[in-house]
Amino acid sequence: YKKNPLDQVICQLRFPPVLKIDAEIPADFQDRIREDFPNFKETSTWKVEGPHGEKGLTPLDLLKQAIQSSGNKNYEFSSEDGQWKVNLTRTFMALTANEYERWEKYKEKLDVPLKALIDIYSPAHFSRIGLRYIDVIRRSALKLDDSNWSDLIQSYILGILSSPEVEEHIQNYQSQYEIRLSDKESIVRIITKFVETADGGEVCYRIDSDFLKTGKTNISDAMNKLNYFNVRASRLIQWCITEKLHKALEPQTL
């Protein structure tokens, strides 16, 4: 689309823990990707949680749990303009694009850190492959301010929001679906909700589509699965929107 509604695209590749990533700074990895991702910062992610349903934990209990938890290092490499970001931890690598144009360009960007990961850290396999697309429909940007959501989004996606009698009275909205894909081993989780813009509080409609496969995947098969997800994602957004919105987004022939 010329007026691309994509706000963010994230690919995450999970693998069995590679302790070397936590044990030493990823200097060789940085050297391999520095041209595309020159900026760097390091954080530690602490996961503190009690057993499911446990109540009444005192601050001392929480402190003990924090001490017993492991702080996993999260290395972040970003492009000069901040629109592209690679995250590396001992259990996953992710590429985030805040400026998505087309799949071919995204794959080129992904290819650099993916090859570095394989060459330097040799993960045994991928335990989870995910490709997530976040679309945000902002009516004012499309000159559709006077259109109802039922004019722009298909009724089977909107649910109760598609009712003209109810739509204007709904204060908050969110729905979630999980659909098995035709390959019989992958799913897509679709979360739709209202979000507000930071600049003026305009209510927008977000479609968050997370395509994923869990279980062992050979390293050499990962890109084929991501290509499969990309094709399904393109079909999904067209399935979610009406012809009116499709035309307003100005589709282009690739």
Q: Note the pLDDT tens digit of each residue in 137-182.
A: 999 999 999 999 999 999 999 998 888 788 778 888 899 999 999 9
CA distances from residue 202 to 126, 163, 240 in whole angstroms, order as listed: 40, 21, 21
CA-based torsion, 4, 238, 102, 130: positive or negative:
positive
Q: What is the mean pLDDT of residues 94-112?
A: 96
Q: What pLDDT shows up at residue 53?
A: 42
Least confident of 19-23, 54-58, 228-232, 240-244: 54-58
Q: What average pLDDT does the chain have? A: 90
Higher pLDDT, 44 or 6: 6
Of the pLDDT bands very low, low, confident and very high (cuts 50, 70, 90), residue 252 is confident
Pair of tokens at residue 8 = 């963010």
Of the pLDDT bands very low, low, confident and very high (cuts 50, 70, 90), residue 59 is low
Q: What pLDDT shows up at residue 201?
A: 84
Q: Note the pLDDT tens digit of each residue in 8-46.
A: 999 999 999 999 999 999 999 999 999 999 999 998 764
Q: What pLDDT shows up at residue 43?
A: 87
Q: What pLDDT shows up at residue 235?
A: 95
| pTM of the shown model | 0.86
β partners of residue 126? 217
3-state secondary structure the chain: CCCCCEEEEEEEEECCCCHHHHHCCCHHHHHHHCCCCCEEEEEEECCCCCCCCCCCCCHHHHHHHHHHCCCEEEEEEECCCCCEEEEECCCEEEEEECCCCCHHHHHHHHHHHHHHHHHHHCCCCEEEEEEEEEEEECHHHHCCCCCCHHHHECHHHHHHHHCHHHHCCCCCCEEEEEEECCCCCCEEEEEEEEEECCCCCCEEEEEEEEEEEEEEECHHHHHHHHHHHHHHHHHHHHHHECHHHHHHCCCCCC
